[in-house]
Amino acid sequence: MNASDIKLGQRVAVTLTGMTALVVGPPEYYTARAKLVPIKYENSTRYEYMINKQLELLPTEEQYPALGGTYVSKERF
Taking a C-beta distance cutoff of 8 angstroms, is the pair 53, 1 a contact? yes
Taking a C-beta distance cutoff of 8 angstroms, is the pair 37, 49 a contact? yes
Look up the pTM and report it: 0.88
Domains in the chain: ranges and CATH: 3-67 (2.30.30.390)
Distance, first Cα to last Cα, the chain? 32
In this predicted model, what pLDDT tens digit does every residue of 5-57 receive, in sequence order? 999 999 999 999 999 999 999 999 999 999 999 999 998 999 999 999 999 99
